[in-house]
Amino acid sequence: MTTARRIIVALDFDTVDDAEAIVDRLGDAGQSYKVGLELLTVAGPAFVARLVGGGKDVFLDLKLFEIPTSVAGAVRAAGRLGATMVTVHAMGGSTVMEAAVRAAADFPKLHVIALTVVTSLTDADLAAIGLSATIEEQVTRLARLAQHSGCHGVVASPQDAALLRAELGPDMLIVTPGVMLQAEMSTGAATEHARPAPPAAAIRAGATHIVIGRSLTRAPDPAAVLAHLGDELG
Ligand code: C5P
């Protein structure tokens, strides 16, 4: 897999024009994009189909948490659109994840990626929703469950990547949002990520993909940020 395909640019925009402007500015250098619920809702599947038609990998971040039949239906819809990744909440349990994996089997390009614990949460947040586990315990438990359910990968904070690589062995994909550029970390820029790390550290720790949003898409020169990242990770 090329370095460019490992860098997934999160198109967190509320208009198609803004999303398309970034895709145009990145040109051939941008190979992988994440489309989440906000953009999918405003832009619809046609936007995703255009990305796929342009040769891009599309990570459809649907964060599915539903009954197995509904999850399977949504996964098939993602497969028909040509997505390469779709997310399902591991908290939904093994029956839901197994249904997602079975639905994806008809689409060889499509990977089911399980979400463990969103990177903005802390141990105190878990306690508040009635979970006595620490973040680390919960991430590990859900990642193991995802692997046993046949998922192709997990989403995890860069801080958890090394632990998960050791737990899951070499084959699982590990997709890490919550990265901050080295320059932002050294200036102490504000972040909503509870456990950020620079992209290169995430890859060294065992991540196969990084997801980068605002640090790139809101930068004055997004193409320069992507080029810099490519050099750093390559
Ligand atoms: O912060 P950034 O703009 O790089 O976020 C990119 C993606 O990372 C978002 O689309 C979101 O899905 C994910 N994210 C996350 N946890 C957060 C913030 C963002 O998983 N606390």
d(CA 217, CA 175): 19
d(CA 133, CA 131): 6
Q: Is the dihedral of CA 167, 85, 120, 141 positive or negative?
A: negative
Q: Which amino acid is at 176?
A: T
Ligand 1 pocket test: which of 117, 193, 218 has the largest number of ligand atoms within 8 Å of its C-beta? 193
d(CA 38, CA 82): 19
Q: CA angle at residue 204 from 210 to 149, to 5 degrees? A: 60
Residues with CB under 6 A from ligand 1: 10, 12, 34, 36, 61, 118-120, 177-178, 192-193, 211-215
CATH 3.40.190.10 fits 3-233, yes or no: no
Q: What is the pLDDT of residue 70?
A: 98
| Atom of ligand 1 at shortest range from CA of 12 | 10
d(CA 86, CA 80): 12
Would you give per-residue pLDDT tens digits along the chain (234 residues)? Answer: 899 999 999 999 999 999 999 999 999 999 999 999 999 999 999 999 999 999 999 999 999 999 999 999 999 999 999 999 999 999 999 999 999 999 999 999 999 999 998 878 899 999 999 999 999 999 999 999 999 999 999 998 888 899 999 999 999 999 999 887 767 766 656 555 555 678 899 999 999 999 999 999 999 999 999 999 999 888
